[in-house]
Amino acid sequence: MASVGQARATKAVDVSIVMPCLDEVRSLEPCVRAAQEALAELSRRHRLTGEVIVADNGSSDGSQALALRLGARVVRVQARGYGAALRGGFTAARGRYLVMGDADGSYDFREAVPMVEQLMAGYAVCMGSRFKGAIAPGAMPWKNRYIGNPILTGVLNLLFNVRVSDAHCGLRALTRDCFERLGLSGAGMEFASEMVIKAALRGEPIAEVAATLSPDLRDRPPHLRPWRDGWRHLRYLFMLSPFWLYAAPALLAGSAGVTILALSAWALANHLEAAYFFGNYWTVLAGAMVGGAHIALILAFATHLYGVREGYRRPKRWLVRLADWFNLESMVIAGGLLALAGLAVLGVVLMRWEGRAFGPTFSVWPAVIGTLLLTLGAQNALGGFLLAIVGGNQARFFEGIEEVEAPAQPSPRHAPAA
């Protein structure tokens, strides 16, 4: 048997159908048979060659021996998890088109034929959609069908501007080139979200075809845990979305904080009653909001830069164009100037306080502004070093990174005719 650590076989094929397997002896045979029928149909229609790969994740029920008897190739994957098994199977696969599907009998691998045809038409990823296809009675729990899947798919579409109706269908296909570009790393069920998110971030063309979900053929509970895996999917969505996780809250909080500080300063300068509404407590809160927004924006830049350096995200054009001056030195200098300004303001505050014989003050606004400037300066300088480290220990964060155009969307909207 091949293992995931071994080099991929040299004899290439066109299509590799990969199914992760953990004790699926009861349902494996119909899955392998259906996959072989799909390959036969692709051979008849388009003269494509193929293979069926069972990515075994440590089965102890004889699944490996059954797969070999059925003519599949078995790849042992030591790292545990749904995503780990699929990554191991894809890595060992010999095909230029990769198809994935569960080995529990819930998907009909013959429906992979139109998926491969979409890849032939120029798409990099083809998603199956159970909501455009069919969901047999008893195949999906109601909370998954009406709550979990719609919510998670909706959040994914919102955060990443994807237009799919079913982001978690287990039957899907992608090209080998796309798989290698995406740098997938998820070990668990979040692997499914990671694939479509990173494809969207890179601008990979994504197609969607109908798929059928049937009740699985196992005599035990599924490996999926709805609440645990649902949370893993949701947190992964935000991990890959620095704008919604960091930048959007930062812009909201920063704008509110600056507005409050400006209104309170205007009211104080004009001795208006509004100064009592935007008094000391509001001023302190506004300072905290601006400081938190600033560090959140730095984290957003760091997350974006990490994604660019890892190759699964295209750099923002405006950031690349600012690369000549947006670097470690500029951030340290700006941070130093902010800190000096803060010290100057606090110096004035101290002198005026001394002039009042260290008595009480009417407004803490000047002290908050001085402290805020000092904090922003320190954060800016330290954030510059953080960005340099994330950027590969380079003072110029986007050194060597060029503007990358999104892959052109394929002109044909339909697969080749049979």
H or E, element range at 337: helix 328-355
Average pLDDT by stretches of 10, the chain with 418 residues: 46 94 93 97 97 95 95 95 94 96 94 97 96 91 82 88 89 96 84 89 93 83 62 79 91 95 82 63 92 95 86 75 80 95 92 73 84 96 92 77 57 46
What would the DSSP string read from start to end of 73-95?
Answer: EEEE--S-SHHHHHHHHHHH--E
Write the pLDDT tens digit of every residue in 201-235: 888 999 999 999 999 887 665 555 666 666 777 78
* pLDDT on residue 1: 42
Domains defined along the chain, listed by start: 2-239 (3.90.550.10), 242-390 (no CATH)
Q: Which residues, in sequence order, are bridge partners of residue 111? A: none
Q: According to the model, what pLDDT value does residue 411 have?
A: 54
Q: How far is CA 254 from CA 197, 246, 294, in A?
A: 28, 12, 7
DSSP 384-415: HHHHHHHTTS-SSTTTT----PPPPPPS-SSP
Residue matched to tokens 């195949």: 139
pLDDT (tens digit, 9 = 90+) per residue, 37-74?
A: 999 999 999 999 999 999 999 999 999 999 999 999 99
d(CA 411, CA 363): 64
SS3 255: helix
Report the alpha-carbon distance of residue 418 to residue 414 in Å, rounded.
11
